[in-house]
């Protein structure tokens, strides 16, 4: 197939272009990088125009822009694929743990090291190069393509729903395609059919009206930090289950078939210990590690602060204590309901010596994609052609907000065709992309576009 040949011949240039893209520090959550985020959006738009896409637009939002492009030359009979990716990246701290600077992409062995290398600039670039291969070699694609490239995914996509709603007509498609997840190993492809959702809250425990001398008042007023510690300790039982009443009410149980499929995944306690450096695993005993991460809802404290944390000693009873808490959700939990339940529990469980107030941040619903959808079959066949092995279906613990938006607002299933690896150091120092997966990813996308029409038939 000529586009495959093209993709192989131009690998080095593709890599050079990706390196240029990765040099732009498009950190969406830091206001001082807003200009770089805009710069990355325009770089992408220019690149898409260079590929010969007739309609390319940088769409402003209340936050960072969305880049939209389409090529509809395959005709009304052919399927339409809506490709999503995010061009924003995570902050780089702790900077001193990077072996080479995060925005000076560096090759070591078969890996390209840079912030955004796999999450998600490198993975979204795969689709641009597959499109290029078709347009240059054949002047057309076997499918219509629409591209929606976002700059706020790492902040929870707070401004994406209105864009999707406003452009719902234009975004009509048969299937959505996202490369922003990973496969099981360099030689074992996999397709993610479920992502967890996310609920995020912050609580404040208020005791005295202002900080107090701990000698003058200690023993006569309750300490908000102690109360917060007790509240947080009460959120799990000894077996690792979340104690918030109603937390598990809407959880869709795993079927026996799913458990059997998940049991094929070569990942367990041993791999978990090696990956994380923990001395032993933790969590609900009746579920495997893979199930705990992919199929069970969880609650984690992300940050805890209050009182004196500086150098030396200061004797004080602080007026307030704070915590940030995230909950990962599974199908069919509702982020808002879960957040309300957690807040209500914390307020009820608090002693009369304090008041507890809370804030609910924007939530993300979980996602479940039917494994037998024709587009999933086409994706499986595409992986098999490139890897020589059938992909295993997996569930991931992470979240991608747009997947639920596509399902709810556009009635679109999403094929999560990832090419990262578990050790790519997402959100951490020394993020990387395993380059053989970059090149194989492009070939997989080429096959997918070719196979989709007959599968969707
Ligand atoms: N690409 C990740 C999601 C991901 C990570 C999926 C690992 C599968 C495995 C995405 O960029 C991400 O980091 N999502 C955030 C979403 C949040 C900010 C709403 C997450 O999961 O924390
Ligand atoms: Mn991502
Ligand atoms: Mn991410």
Domain boundary assignment for the chain: 2-195+366-456, 197-251+297-364
Residue from 88, 154, 291, 424 carrying the catalytic annotation:
88
Ligand 1: which of 85, 154, 365 to mutate, most ligand atoms within 8 Å of CB?
154
Dihedral angle computed from the Cα positions of residues 23, 27, 33 and 39, in that order, rounded to the nearest 10 degrees: 50
Burial of residue 210, with CB atoms counted within 10 A of its CB: 0-12 exposed, 13-18 middle, 19 or more buried: exposed
Residue 389 burial (CB count, 10 A): 12
Q: Best of 361, 400, 422, 431 to mutate for ligand 1, by most ligand atoms within 8 A of CB? A: 400
pLDDT of residue 457: 86
Query: Is residue 154 in contact with ligand 1, taking CB distance under 6 Å?
Result: yes
Any alpha helices (H) in 277-373, and if so which ranges? 289-294, 335-349
pLDDT digits (tens, 9 = 90+) for 87-118: 999 999 999 999 999 999 999 999 999 999 99
CA 140/CA 419 separation, integer angstroms? 25
- For the Cβ of 396 lying below 6 angstroms from any atom of ligand 1, the answer is yes
At 282-326, the pLDDT tens digits run 999 999 999 999 999 999 999 999 999 999 999 999 999 999 999
- Cα 50 off chain centre by: 29
In this chain, the answer to whether the domains covering 2-195+366-456 and 197-251+297-364 adopt an identical fold is no
Reduce the DSSP state of residue 377 to 3 states and report it: helix
Q: Residue 452: its pLDDT value, please?
A: 98
Cα 86 to middle of ligand 2, angstroms: 7
Ligand 1 mean position, distance from CA 398 (Å) = 5
Give the pLDDT confidence score for residue 161 in this predicted structure: 97
What is the distance in A from the centroid of ligand 2 to the CA of 341?
A: 28
Q: Residue 129 and residue 275: Cα distance in Å, rounded? A: 32
**CB 103 within 8 Å of CB 22:** yes
Give the Å distance between the CA of 327 and the centre of ligand 2.
Answer: 18
| Ligand 1: residue whose CA is nearest its atom 10 | 400
Beta carbon of 364 within 6 Å of any ligand 1 atom: yes
Identified catalytic residue from 132, 150, 153, 291: 153
Judged by phi (left if over 0) then psi (alpha if -120 to 50, else beta), residue 328 lies in beta
How many A from CA of 231 to the centre of ligand 1? 28
CATH T-level topology, domain 2-195+366-456: Aminopeptidase (3.40.630)
pLDDT at residue number 189: 98
Ion ligand 3 neighbours, Cβ < 5 Å? 119
Question: What is the atom index within ligand 1 of the atom nearest the CA of 418?
Answer: 8
Residue 347 confidence (pLDDT): 98
Question: Quick check: is 257 catalytic?
Answer: no
* C-alpha span between 96 and 286 (Å, rounded): 40
Could you tell me the two tokens for 440? 């194989």
Query: Which residues pair with residue 182 across a beta bridge?
Result: 420
Residues in the chain, pLDDT under 50: none
Q: Which residues of 81-111 are buried (b: 16+ CB within 10 A; e: fewer)?
A: bbbbbbbbbbbbeeeeebeeebbebbeeeeb
In 45-95, which ranges are E strands? 55-59, 66-71, 80-86
Helix (H, G, I), strand (E, B) or coil at 439: helix
Give nearest CA residue, ligand 1 atom 7.
Answer: 398
Report whether residue 173 contacts ligand 1, using a CB cutoff of 6 Å. no
Question: Can you give the pTM of this predicted structure?
Answer: 0.95
Ligand nearest to the CA of 121: 2
- Measured from the Cα of 154, ligand 1's closest atom is 18
- Ligand 1 atom closest to the Cα of residue 200 is 19
The topology (CATH level 3) of 197-251+297-364 is: Alpha-Beta Plaits (3.30.70)
Instruction: Please give the order of strands across the beta sheet that includes 432-434.
Output: 106-108, 111-113, 432-434
Q: State yes or no: is 35 an active-site residue.
A: no
């Amino acid at each position: 197939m000529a586009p495959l040949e093209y993709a192989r011949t131009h690998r080095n240039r593709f890599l050079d272009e990706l390196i240029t893209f990765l040099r732009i520090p498009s950190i969406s959550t830091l206001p001082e990088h807003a200009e770089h985020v805009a710069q990355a959006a325009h770089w992408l738009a220019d690149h898409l125009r260079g590929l010969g896409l007739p309609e390319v637009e940088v769409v402003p939002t209340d936050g960072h822009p969305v880049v939209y492009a389409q090529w509809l030359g395959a005709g009304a009979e052919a399927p339409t694929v809506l490709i999503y990716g995010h061009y924003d990246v995570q902050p780089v701290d702790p900077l001193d743990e990077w072996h080479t600077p995060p925005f000076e992409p560096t090759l070591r062995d078969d890996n390209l090291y840079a912030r955004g290398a796999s999450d998600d600039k490198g993975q979204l670039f795969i689709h641009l190069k597959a499109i290029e291969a078709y347009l240059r070699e054949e002047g057309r694609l076997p499918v219509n393509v629409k591209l929606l490239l976002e700059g706020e995914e790492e902040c929870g996509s707070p401004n994406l729903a209105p864009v999707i709603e406003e452009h719902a007509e234009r975004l009509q498609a048969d299937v959505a395609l996202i490369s922003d997840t990973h496969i099981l190993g360099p030689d074992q492809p996999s397709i993610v059919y479920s992502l967890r959702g996310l609920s995020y809250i912050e609580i404040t425990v208020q005791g005295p009206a202002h900080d107090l001398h701990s000698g003058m008042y200690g023993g006569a007023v309750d300490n908000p930090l102690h109360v917060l510690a007790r509240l947080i300790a009460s959120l799990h039982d000894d077996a690792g289950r979340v104690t918030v009443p109603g937390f598990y009410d809407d959880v869709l149980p795993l079927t026996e078939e799913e458990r059997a499929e998940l049991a094929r995944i070569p990942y367990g306690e041993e791999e978990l210990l090696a990956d994380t450096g923990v001395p032993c695993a933790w969590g609900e005993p009746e579920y495997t590690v893979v199930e705990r991460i992919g199929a069970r809802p969880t609650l984690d404290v992300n940050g805890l602060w209050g009182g004196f944390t500086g150098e030396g000693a200061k004797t004080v009873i602080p007026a307030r204590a704070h915590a940030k808490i995230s909950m990962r959700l599974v199908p069919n939990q509702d982020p808002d309901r879960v957040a309300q339940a957690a807040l209500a529990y914390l307020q009820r469980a608090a002693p009369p010596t304090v008041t507890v107030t809370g804030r609910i941040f924007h939530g993300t619903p979980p996602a479940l994609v039917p494994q037998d959808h024709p587009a999933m079959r086409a994706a499986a066949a595409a992986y098999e052609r490139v890897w020589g092995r059938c992909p295993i279906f997996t569930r991931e613990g992470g979240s991608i907000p747009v997947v639920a938006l596509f399902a709810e607002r556009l009635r679109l299933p999403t094929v999560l065709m990832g090419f990262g690896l578990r050790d790519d150091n997402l959100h951490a120092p020394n993020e990387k992309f395993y380059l053989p997966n970059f090149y194989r990813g492009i070939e997989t996308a080429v096959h997918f576009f070719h196979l989709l029409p007959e599968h969707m038939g």
